[in-house]
Structure 1
């Protein structure tokens, strides 16, 4: 799954998401010359790498950290993103002191409201949460289910975040249609939980189909530490 994700990300299909997060953090950190960022549930490090590059491109020093429960993912992240620091850890037990980060990002990962509130500086620390919009990968899901369920906006624990001391700011929707090669379509399937439920005929269909089209529909919601 991690290797499939690395290949899919390397093809650039999710760059639009990473670039949007980076752009938001550049704007949110206006006036700061140094920004410490944590990617909680960083996987193989793609989003953190893009964010660090965006902040450095804006003339800021960026101290980048990533944690994930997968040892394989952390090894891959550390080998590629040598300017960042990585650790095998859960988002619910972060190995950091209080108020050490200007920003935390969490993309398709568990949202540990209390821990994020603890490690973000206050006031003003920024949290960006990325989660699926209702049409995300709907074409792929339609191959697997007769009546695929749409994602809903209650995918993140907004109430928990508010009670932990966050203020909800803005939500940006990132939506586009992807046209995938056979290899990329199989990697997309392999990097999602759908892979474990996919019958062999679906895998064969993706293998034979050239130019598989599917929708990327992501919501990025920003919160500020009050």
Structure 2
């Protein structure tokens, strides 16, 4: 029986044509036991438990293992399940015989793994890669979801070949639209998920109790529309139950919980809301001037 590292290494080798050296953008070839080497002899070795660390230089982030473990617990509870179902349905509309899906800002991989499973269950052949600058998230993704290409990568310098993506996912994560345009095939599309005004309203109202208790995504959507052609916008709103014993994990994973005082945090954990409002906008966009 293959180890998770071997399963992931096989996925990397099988999808090597999608990868590009982050230093010179050259394609890779593989040399045993674990080397991905480009034509300029820059080498990156498969790390345990089976991901590639494709950064020009190390990046320190505030996203640690505890955050990603908390995120996985919350996602596993079904908090984002309606969103993931809708995203998978959008991707399934692609006419590509074999889908290449990149998750830009994949975190610990739960969203991408869920989408891949859904598409495969509906008969789609999927080549998937998750990219994130936070090594702890990618490391956990490789451990928990073998068989997907996992990359520690900078979204400003994606180590993937130009014109290879049928779909790019960008879920509640920063973007780099120039890179997304470079990666997308002419008929490919971006799915960007952004908060709407009432996203986590209960939490915002408790923490801020002022004008910050509402959220506007106008600046985000304006920047996207300046760089890509928006094909469609869908909205998804629902109440997501959350168990009391999961609320500490929720505060660990969301930026809203990072700046709350210990006193208010204790008050909230003692009497958390039983459900939170999930209010999101799903933007589907393509490259401009596609005939």
Question: Match for residue 199 of structure 1?
Answer: 261
1:144-183 matched pairs, under 5 angstroms: 144-147=207-210, 148-159=212-223, 161-164=224-227, 166-183=228-245
Q: For residues 51-101 of structure 1, what are the alpha-carbon distances to aligned partners after superposition, in whole Å with 9 as ceiling and x for unaligned? A: 211221221110000110111100111112212101111111100111011
CA RMSD of aligned residues (A): 1.6
What stretches of structure 2 of length at least 5 have no aligned partner? 1-66
Map 1:73-84; keep pairs closer than 5 Å.
73-84=137-148
> Quick one: which of 127, 141, 159 aligns to 2:190?
127
SS in 2 for 1:121: strand
Which residue of 1 is the match for residue 246 of structure 2?
Answer: 184
Which residue of structure 1 aligns with residue 201 of structure 2? 138
CA contact (8 A) 2:164 2:184 kept: yes
**Shift in Å at residue 207 of structure 1?**
2.6
TM-score (norm 1): 0.92
Match of 2:100 in 1: 36
Which of 137, 151, 165 is the matching residue for 1:87? 151
Aligned to 1:215: 277
State whether residues 202 and 273 of structure 2, in contact with CA within 8 Å, keep that contact through their aligned partners in structure 1.
no
TM-score by length of 2: 0.72
Deviations 1:149-194 (Å, cap 9, x if unpaired)? 42213252544x4554x32111111111123222222221111112
Match of residue 90 from structure 2: 24
CA–CA separation in structure 2 for the residues paired with 1:182 and 1:206: 10
Task: Kindly indicate whether residue 75 of structure 2 is the aligned counterpart of residue 13 of structure 1.
Answer: no
Q: How many pairs are equivalent? A: 221
Other-structure match for 2:13: none
Q: Which structure has the larger Rg over C-alpha atoms?
A: 2
Pair 1:111–1:176, CA change in 2 (3 A) = same
Q: Does 1:46 align with 2:119?
A: no
Larger relative contact order (Cα-Cα within 8 Å, sequence gap ≥ 6): 1
Counterpart secondary structure, 1:44: coil
Gaps of 5+ in 1: none
For residue 156 of structure 1, give the secondary structure of its aligned residue in structure 2: helix
